[in-house]
């Protein structure tokens, strides 16, 4: 049987092959129905943005006993030396509400938060392994690691391992994946959605199915849509992940009357190496990112600071760095560290593909910061150093209140004087991760039309759904949301297919 004929025998077509799509397809299979996945990418690039992730996975838990259910490999020694803390459902609710400035859809948050632990358990059952996120989410102080942001476990092997594991499971379940087969339209009439038109090896085919799950990402890889919806300049941002998330799933659904929902002019965008390629590189993964803003001063082309680098832990601020850098002259910035804090830098600061300057004096560093007004930079450093409240102890694991006083833009935590050589600086621009706007789905993952009614036979999950993120984002939520809503979409699509 050729690939197209195989797809014709499926009950449910799942568009996409990332985390949300594989979660949906595996759930369709669990429900006793037959799924097929459509993937725009070729085999090596499969799995969308999920493939590029570091695997941070934000779920609610009540401490080590819960964590051991997800990660039984945590040793007694690790239990001794790590303070895992707790991350209660209430804290998760607060984070989702606060990050979105109280705009996130309450029904969606409720489902996300209450199902998050179960989603992690289910991932574990699929063969996905987890490990403590040391170094990224906890620092070692006085011999002990202490988690500060609630995000304690990450997927072992990151996105590459996640995609390999879920796809191996799908293969075992006999779920075919049609590679290089983008969906181009939905087959639709007054009765609802009855399948998908695909392009396969240069030819269009109409694939009928009882139901369809759209899980094919946002529009972050589409420069035209970025400029149209995010605004001027966003077409010039670098794309952190896959080139295949061009918004087609969203536009196909809007074309048949689906409701746009969420923060259409908002996106997740980080500080990303200035010379990174235009789209993600799977051999580097997420490591073009430069997330240690809380320990640096960040200066623009004018040699001036432009944000409070220490306003919060990076997990709660990093998704906004990209937009802020995009608005600076020339769309770049330099992150400047002195020797006192370089031991805290994440692994992403030591990759080979990096735009870095290093110097033994601050004057020498000023001459090496390409594109920056060196004189003004030196003044900025002097003003900053003079304003640091050095009597407050520095502690990277808590919001330590070690601040500056009386600057035009104060740094409110983790302020250290920049005075100990060697000095290091890293050039960054805006790297867009994913877009916040998307489709409106019901609590059963049914895609709704503009009148608020479910479009029969059409379900949605993952990044293409709007309503969860507005203005900001708490790290590690995207993968959990894909698992949670992917599983709901799979269950409901299977039930719909059964009639």
**Binding residues for ligand FAD, per CB under 6 A?**
15-21, 38-41, 47-50, 52-56, 182-183, 215-217, 240-242, 244-245, 248-249, 280, 286, 433-434, 462-463, 476-479, 482
CB of 52 to ligand FAD, least distance (A): 4
CB of 98 to ligand FAD, least distance (A): 18
Cβ neighbour number for residue 467 with a 10 Å cutoff = 22
Which of the 8 DSSP states describes residue 470? S
Residues belonging to the chain? 499
Do residues 197 and 208 make contact, with C-beta atoms less than 8 angstroms apart? Answer: no
Residue closer to ligand FAD, measured from CB, 54 or 176: 54
Do residues 211 and 23 make contact, with C-beta atoms less than 8 angstroms apart? Answer: no
CB of 35 to ligand FAD, least distance (A): 14
d(C-alpha 272, C-alpha 256), whole Å: 36
Residue closer to ligand FAD, measured from CB, 239 or 415: 239
Residue closer to ligand FAD, measured from CB, 243 or 376: 243
CB of 439 to ligand FAD, least distance (A): 12
Residue closer to ligand FAD, measured from CB, 349 or 384: 349
CB of 42 to ligand FAD, least distance (A): 10
Coil/strand/helix, residue 117: helix
Residue with tokens 């390629």: 277
Do residues 47 and 163 make contact, with C-beta atoms less than 8 angstroms apart? Answer: yes
Residue closer to ligand FAD, measured from CB, 304 or 348: 348
Residue closer to ligand FAD, measured from CB, 92 or 434: 434
H or E, element range at 41: none
Do residues 150 and 87 make contact, with C-beta atoms less than 8 angstroms apart? Answer: yes
Residue closer to ligand FAD, measured from CB, 26 or 56: 56
- 269's torsion region: left (phi>0), alpha (psi -120 to 50) or beta? beta
Those residues whose C-beta lies under 8 Å from the C-beta of residue 151, and which sit 6 or more positions away, are 56, 57, 58, 87, 133, 137, 315, 474, 475, 476
CB of 479 to ligand FAD, least distance (A): 3
CB of 394 to ligand FAD, least distance (A): 27
Residue closer to ligand FAD, measured from CB, 227 or 282: 282
CB of 20 to ligand FAD, least distance (A): 3
Residue closer to ligand FAD, measured from CB, 119 or 369: 119
Cβ neighbour number for residue 347 with a 10 Å cutoff = 10
Please give the structure tokens belonging to residue 240: 């952190």
Residue closer to ligand FAD, measured from CB, 397 or 433: 433
- CA distance between the termini of the chain: 27
d(C-alpha 12, C-alpha 426), whole Å: 47
Question: How would you class 266 by CB atoms within 10 Å of its CB: exposed for 0-12, middle for 13-18, buried for 19 or more?
Answer: buried
Question: How would you class 64 by CB atoms within 10 Å of its CB: exposed for 0-12, middle for 13-18, buried for 19 or more?
Answer: middle
Residue closer to ligand FAD, measured from CB, 30 or 373: 30
Please give the structure tokens belonging to residue 46: 């499969």
For β-strands 438-439 and 260-261, DSSP reports them as antiparallel
Helices 19-30/477-498 angle, 10° precision: 40
Which of the 8 DSSP states describes residue 226? I
CB of 124 to ligand FAD, least distance (A): 16
Coil/strand/helix, residue 215: coil
CB of 21 to ligand FAD, least distance (A): 5
CB of 215 to ligand FAD, least distance (A): 5
Query: Alpha helix (H) ranges present in 71-175?
Result: 76-81, 89-99, 106-125, 158-172
Please give the structure tokens belonging to residue 170: 């799908």
Cβ neighbour number for residue 440 with a 10 Å cutoff = 21
Residue closer to ligand FAD, measured from CB, 246 or 385: 246
d(C-alpha 19, C-alpha 487), whole Å: 10
């Amino acid at each position: 049987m050729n690939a197209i004929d195989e797809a014709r025998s499926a009950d449910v077509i799942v568009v996409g092959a990332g985390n949300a799509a594989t979660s949906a397809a595996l759930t369709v299979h669990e429900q006793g129905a037959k799924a097929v996945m459509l993937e725009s990418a070729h085999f090596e690039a499969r799995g969308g943005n999920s493939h590029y992730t570091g695997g941070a996975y934000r779920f609610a838990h009540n401490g080590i006993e819960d964590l051991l259910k997800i990660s039984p490999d945590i040793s007694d020694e690790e239990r001794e030396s790590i303070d895992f803390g707790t991350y209660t459902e209430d804290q998760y609710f607060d984070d989702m509400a606060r990050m979105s400035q109280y705009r996130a859809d309450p029904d969606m948050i409720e489902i996300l938060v209450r199902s998050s632990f179960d989603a992690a358990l289910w991932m574990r059952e699929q063969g996905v392994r987890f490990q403590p996120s040391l170094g990224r989410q906890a620092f070692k102080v006085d011999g002990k690691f202490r988690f500060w942001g609630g995000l304690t476990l990450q997927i072992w092997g990151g996105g590459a391992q996640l995609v390999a594991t879920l796809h191996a499971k799908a293969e075992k379940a006999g779920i075919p994946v049609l590679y290089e087969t983008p969906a181009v339209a939905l087959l639709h009439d007054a009765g609802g959605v009855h399948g998908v038109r695909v392009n396969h090896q240069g030819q269009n085919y109409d694939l009928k199915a009882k139901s369809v799950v759209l899980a094919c990402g946002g529009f972050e890889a589409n420069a035209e849509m970025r400029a149209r919806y995010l605004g001027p300049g966003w077409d010039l941002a670098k794309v952190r992940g896959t080139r295949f998330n061009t918004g087609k799933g969203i536009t196909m659904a809007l074309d048949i009357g689906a409701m746009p929902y969420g923060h259409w002019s908002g996106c997740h965008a980080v500080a990303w190496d200035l010379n990174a390629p235009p789209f993600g590189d799977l051999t580097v993964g997420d490591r073009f990112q430069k997330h240690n803003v809380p320990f640096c001063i960040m200066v623009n082309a004018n040699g001036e600071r432009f944000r409070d680098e220490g306003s919060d832990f990076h997990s709660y601020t990093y998704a906004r760095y990209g937009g802020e850098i995009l608005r600076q002259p020339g769309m770049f910035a330099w992150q400047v560290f002195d020797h006192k804090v370089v031991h805290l830098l994440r692994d992403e600061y030591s990759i080979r593909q990096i735009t870095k300057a290093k110097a033994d004096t601050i004057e020498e560093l000023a001459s090496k910061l390409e594109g920056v007004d060196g004189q003004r930079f030196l003044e900025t450093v002097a003003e900053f150093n003079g304003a640091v409240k050095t009597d407050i102890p520095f502690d990277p694991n808590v919001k330590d209140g070690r601040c500056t006083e009386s600057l035009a833009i104060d740094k409110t935590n983790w302020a250290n004087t920049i005075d100990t050589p060697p000095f290091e600086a890293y050039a960054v621009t805006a790297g867009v991760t994913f877009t916040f706007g998307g489709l409106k789905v019901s609590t059963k993952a049914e895609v709704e039309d503009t009148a608020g009614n479910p479009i029969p036979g059409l379900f949605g999950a993952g990044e293409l759904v709007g309503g969860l993120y507005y203005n900001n984002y708490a790290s590690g939520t995207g993968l959990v949301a894909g698992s949670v809503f992917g599983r709901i979409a799979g269950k409901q699509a299977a039930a719909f297919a059964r009639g």
